[in-house]
Structure 1
């Protein structure tokens, strides 16, 4: 398989103090990193594509490390995560599925073995396409306070022969969360769900 050809990175950090209620003493931070890369399968159908997942693994680790640094540098501060991909118009949705394992395992590794499955979204679109990336708690998918999403996009990408691969991390629950359910302090950590 060809090496991953990166055109550019884009990193976004949000600091959220309130959603209409009292301002939090410590803001929730939501961060996303996007790598715009060449899609080696764009333009024609390829039966065998799975080898590219292995090629994406170093990129996933690099992106996860960069995102933690942008959020302050402490992996222990990260409580939520998600991933996504926008495939350029000369590609197909299945090319986006190749990001599931490299993106998810990279975050779990740099976060010290997080247990929950990394939620994901993907779509095909052109430059400026926006993607809502779902977020859950890193160790228990049922922690309702951490159900969130972050909208991401690249103004000039992905071009037709590119993909925009995305990782998202947060430092806590939604500001003013009050929808009940399993609390982060009650996680058992046995199965990635509770």
Structure 2
């Protein structure tokens, strides 16, 4: 049986959800970002306990196909950004279309309706958070960051970063780690 879990956006989330499942005695066959594969059908009591335990930690079991699909989209995009291997000519529509075997227009409309922002905005916000992470840890130059995240130039990265955060990358770097956002909480600032 497969269960979809909202807000699983990193490897630590996967670990925490696995621990909750084991505590509820639902030993999972597999725990991936956003999904859990169980070997057995849980009882209603186990599901209620699991749901309560997950909610206490900021997770939520999804039961609506629309929300499940949106969560899959978010997880794919977060994983793509976190990999740091986005090519300059990366196509969001091609990537999601191939990954989910659906038309991009349908995915885009659905995502916007549920999340209140476009897929492109969400993807940019994730990339900006990754830029923040790399700036704080000071392991890569801006040129290397731009290359790894598929920006055509440092100027393009800097312009997008400033548009989203209100700061240049160098100004942000001076401020430090206090201004980063959890990946599941990244939103457009108005």
Give the TM-score normalised by structure 1.
0.23
If each structure's strand is expressed as a fraction of its own residues, which one has the higher value? Answer: 1
If each structure's helix is expressed as a fraction of its own residues, which one has the higher value? Answer: 2
Task: Give 1 or 2 for the bigger CA radius of gyration.
Answer: 2
Greater length-normalized contact order (CA 8 Å, ≥ 6 residues apart): 1
